[in-house]
Each structure stands twice: as C-alpha cells, then as structure tokens.
Amino acid sequence: MKILRDDELLKISFDEDKKLIWTEWKQESFKASLSKEEIKNINKQIADYIVETDADYYLADQRKRGVVYTIDIQEYIAKVLVEAVEKAHVKKSAIVMPGDYIVRLSNEQTINEVNSDSDFDYFNDFDKAWNYLFG
C-alpha cells in the first residue's frame, strides 16, 4: 500500500495490486474549520490521484468525516469526482457513509448531484463496501 497523503484530516492510499484508491477521513476533521477552497482542494487532490494512478476501484471511507459540505461544494465535489472516475474508467466506487447526522445529510445531498454511468454504491458498513468492491 502506497501512502499518497497522510495528515490530520485525511489519509489517501493506493493499493497497486488491487488498483484501489482508498480515502479515509480522520476524527480530527470534526475540529477543522476548512474554507470552501480547502475543501475543494482536498477533493480535487483525490480526483487527481484517481486519474494519476489509473485506479480500477475507489473506496471513500467517510465514517469519521466531520466536514459539512455546503450546496455549492456538493455540486463541485460531485462534478470533479465523477469526472475523475469516468476518466480513469474506475470499475466500482464504494462510499462508506459518515455517522454524524448533519455530515451524512450533506453527503446524501452530494450523492444526489452525481449523474454518472459509473458504478457508485453507498454503504453504512465498511465490510459491505469492501465486499462490494472485491467480494
């Protein structure tokens, strides 16, 4: 597993054998007050790594994400991540939903913005997401 980013907010890894981009938000993100530009930059970085690594699978573990996405950020994230997934020809994407109600709601609204032929699915349980990708 190659670590592409690992800081107080987010860990991004790439498993070369599985061709998997794996993002994991950290608990500290609940304390972070990120600007819209910082949130956009983080998600653009994720999108860039998806394309750069030519990933076949994308796993977004958002169980500990504390950052709430506003409507304009939701639209941006949906656009930039869908474009990356489609450009890299990702076979499957799994998103493990955040536990916090408000964060989860912003996630669900982001998901509603997704308009793609790519295979996206959303889970409340990490193991189910993993099995969806590799089961």
**pLDDT tens per residue across span 87-129:** 999 999 998 987 755 555 555 555 555 555 567 788 889 999 9
Between 81 and 15, the more confident residue is 15
d(CA 5, CA 107): 22
> CATH number of the domain that 16 lies in?
3.30.750.24
Mean pLDDT, rounded, for 68-79: 84
Residue 116 DSSP symbol: -
pLDDT score recorded for residue 117: 59
Measure the CA dihedral 86/48/71/59, to 10°: 70
**pLDDT per residue as tens digits for the range 5-47:** 999 999 999 999 999 999 999 988 878 788 999 999 999 999 9
Per DSSP, 117 falls in state S
| Structural domain boundaries, residue 27 | 2-134
CB count in 10 Å sphere of residue 37: 9
Side chain identity, residue 17: D
- With beta carbons less than 8 A apart as the criterion, state whether 1 and 15 touch: yes
Q: Alpha-carbon distance 50 to 55, whole Å?
A: 6
The tally of domains found in the chain comes to 1
The pLDDT value recorded for residue 115 is 54
